[in-house]
Amino acid sequence: MNRQADPEEAFRQAGWPGFRARLFHLYFLLRRPMTLGVRGLVYNRASNSVFLIRHTYVPGWHLPGGGVEVSETLEQALVRELAEEGNIALTTPPVLKSMHFNRRSSKRDHVGLYLIEAFSQTAPKLPDHEIAEAGFFPLDHLPQETTPATLRRIAEIFGGERISPYW
């Protein structure tokens, strides 16, 4: 039986890091049966680049973002996550571009994708316990380890690809 390769398979971790990531998602599933997250596509028009992060606990380069906490709006969560993961502050409201069902995380996870074109970065993001690396990358020279979902979101926004309902 031939099994077709899953492009997301390469971004799953085995061993302790993978177990830790699954525990993290289980914790949020138990705490919040329906999970809601945000991701920000931070675009620097002058350099034609996007801001990406690499976590310490999952492989690949991702758009910054995370879970919406109790009593937070999507936009409040985005502002908090951008500050935490990139030292990025919005200078105008972000634009909600799409909503996606993230069936890889759980049967109840949804992610809102925002486009951010007006922002300031107070300082480059230095590594910490959550973020291993972060930076701006030209659209035509993204890191090889950029996740398939991140590449899809970039193609939808900048390449005119049809917006998928799935993350």
Per-residue pLDDT tens, the chain, 167 aa: give them. 444 555 555 556 677 777 877 787 777 667 666 789 999 999 999 999 999 999 999 999 999 999 999 899 999 999 999 999 999 999 999 999 999 999 877 778 899 999 999 999 999 999 999 999 999 999 999 999 999 999 999 999 999 999 999 99
Four-way CATH pick for 33-158: 3.40.190.10, 3.40.47.10, 3.90.79.10, 3.40.250.10: 3.90.79.10
Contacts of 130 (CB under 8 A, 6+ apart): 55, 56, 57, 84, 85
Residues ≥6 apart with Cβ < 8 Å to 7: 148
Cut 0.85: pTM above it: no
pLDDT at 32: 61
State the pLDDT at residue 27.
Answer: 76
Q: Where are the domains of the chain?
A: 33-158
What pLDDT, on the 0 to 100 scale, is given for residue 2? 47
Q: What is the pLDDT of residue 7?
A: 54
